[in-house]
Structures are given as C-alpha cells and as structure tokens.
C-alpha cells in the first residue's frame, strides 16, 4: 500500500512540473524516450528520497506511471485531431478506452527499460544513442508505415515480436470497422506483461544503483 501511496505523490510532483511547461507533452510526441530519472540522479533528488522512508519501488514506478499518463494524454490529443479530420472510432466507447490504454501500455515498458538502462549507464549521451538505436527500428518494423500483408516475410515475422506493433494492431482493431477484439485482448495482455517484466528490470537496476553508492 505504501508503494501505491508514495508512487502517487511522486507522480503528482512530476505532473505538476509537466503542467508548468505543457509544451513538453507536445515535444514528447516527437521524442518519447524519457530519462527524467537521470536528471533526478544528477541533481541528488533521488538521494534525498532515499534518506526518507519513501518506498524504494515508488521512485522507479512513478517514472513509469508518469510516462504512461503522458502517453495517454498524447493519444487523446491525436484521437481528437483525428476526429476533427473525420476519423471515426468504430469500436465505440470501448474503442476509445482501448486506444488511450494502448498509448499508456506502449509507453510504460519503454519508460521502464530506459530508466533501467539509465541507472546502469548513468550518462545522458549514451541514453540518447540507445533510444535512437532502438526506437526508430521498432517503429519501422511495425505496421505503422507498412501494411502487415505487404511486408516481406522476414519483416512480418520480426514485427510479431515488436511491442510497438502489438500496440498498433490493438489500437487499429479498436478503431476500424470489424476489429478483431480477441486480438485486441491478446495484444493488451502482452503489453501489460511486458510492462510488469520491464518494471522488474528497472527495480533490479535501481537496487544495483543503491548498492553502488
């Protein structure tokens, strides 16, 4: 319970900071990888929390939850823009919820992984390189730009294991006419599982970090 409580207050802190500069929400649409934890490490904010009884887990989880919320808002913006341009969400209310949830679910594993790596390398330059090295290929290897059916065979195979593609397919099925809801459920479950596993990874690297100081 203390984890949930502490995570909540730490998310509130980040949300307030984000609202002070709402332009970040737009900027993060373009560059979604986030290593705010690294900034916190550099500025000793993490040390400050570690000397308090705050749950250790909440320090990492709040970063993951915050990225999820940012992505949710971004998904909402895009959906509203799409709506203005004539897009119809054929999945109805459930469709809306799925799209917003998928936005958060794709962002959270990446936030957890990048925070984990940030704790291991502790260098912003390395983080930017890693983000670009991983982020762009994942986008190209999804059905965002190329339809699944016209992909070369190898690409189609690889994209099946691409979490970005899981999110794309789930969101698409929630919007188009005759979406396959079984697939939506499966992809969301996969993303949820991935969020859990990557959060564990981030927590583990945080313990390693703590031991090293």
Partner 1 sequence: MDAITVQDLRKRYKDVQALDGVTFDVHAGEVFGLLGPNGAGKSTTVRVLTTLTKPDSGHALVAGHDVVRHPNRARRAIGYVPQDSGVDRDATGRENLMLQGRIYGLRGSGVRARVKEVLELVGLPDAADRVVRGYSGGMKRRLDIALGLIHRPSVLFLDEPTTGLDPEARAAMWVEVERLANQESLTILLTTHYLEEADQLADRLAIVSRGQVVVEGTPDDLKRGLQGELVTVELQDADGRAPEAVAVVERFPGARETKLDGVHVRTRVPDGAQAIPTLLASLSSAGIAVASVTTSRPSLDDVYLHYTGREFAADDTAVGAV
* Site of interaction with partner 1 (CB under 8 A): 6, 9-10, 12-13, 16-17, 20-21, 40, 43-54, 211, 213
Q: Give the whole-angstrom CA distance, residue 110 versus residue 135.
A: 9
Closest CB 211 distance from partner 1, rounded Å: 8
Residues in the chain: 213
Q: How far is the CB of 18 from partner 1 (least distance, A)?
A: 9
Rank residues 46 and 72 by Cβ distance to partner 1 and give the closer one: 46
Question: Residue 10 or residue 184: which is nearer to partner 1 going by CB?
Answer: 10
Nearest residue (CB) to partner 1, 36 versus 131: 36
Query: Min. distance of Cβ 22 from partner 1 in angstroms?
Result: 13
CA distances from 148 to 9, 151, 153 (A): 42, 5, 10
**Distance (Å) of CA 79 to CA 74, 94, 165:** 8, 14, 18
Nearest distance from residue 11's CB to partner 1, in Å?
A: 11
The least CB distance from residue 60 to partner 1, in Å, is 15
Task: Kindly tell me which of 17 and 31 has the beta carbon lying closer to partner 1.
Answer: 17
| Cβ proximity to partner 1, 46 vs 170, nearer residue | 46
Nearer to partner 1, 64 or 101 (CB): 64
Q: How far is CA 41 from CA 1, 2, 38, 96, 104, in A?
A: 25, 22, 5, 37, 24
Alpha helices in the chain (DSSP H): 2-20, 23-30, 36-42, 45-50, 56-84, 92-121, 124-140, 153-159, 163-175, 181-212
Q: Within 21-91, where are the H helices?
A: 23-30, 36-42, 45-50, 56-84
Nearest to 67 by CA among 39, 106, 40: 106
**CA of 86: how far to CAs of 62, 80, 81, 117, 169, in Å?**
36, 10, 9, 40, 20
Shortest separation between residue 213's beta carbon and partner 1, angstroms: 6
């Amino acid at each position: 319970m203390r984890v949930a409580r502490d995570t909540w207050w730490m998310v509130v802190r980040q949300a307030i900071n984000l609202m002070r500069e709402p332009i970040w929400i737009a900027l993060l649409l373009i560059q979604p990888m986030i290593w705010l934890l690294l900034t916190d490490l550099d500025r000793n904010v993490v040390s400050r929390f570690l000397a308090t009884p705050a749950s250790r887990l909440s320090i990492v989880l709040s970063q993951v939850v915050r990225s999820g919320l940012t992505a949710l808002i971004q998904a909402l913006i895009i959906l509203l823009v799409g709506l203005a341009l004539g897009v119809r969400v054929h999945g109805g209310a459930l469709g809306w919820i799925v799209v917003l949830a998928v936005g958060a679910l794709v962002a959270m594993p990446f936030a957890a992984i990048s925070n984990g790596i940030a704790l291991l390398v502790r260098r912003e330059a390395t983080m930017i390189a890693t983000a670009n090295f991983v982020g762009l290929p994942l986008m190209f290897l999804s059905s965002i730009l190329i339809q699944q059916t016209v992909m070369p065979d190898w690409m189609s195979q690889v994209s099946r294991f691409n979490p970005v593609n899981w999110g794309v397919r789930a969101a698409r099925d929630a919007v188009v006419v005759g979406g396959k809801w079984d697939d939506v459920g499966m992809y969301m479950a996969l993303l949820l599982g991935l969020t859990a596993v990557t959060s564990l990874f981030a927590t583990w690297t945080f313990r390693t970090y703590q031991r090293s100081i």
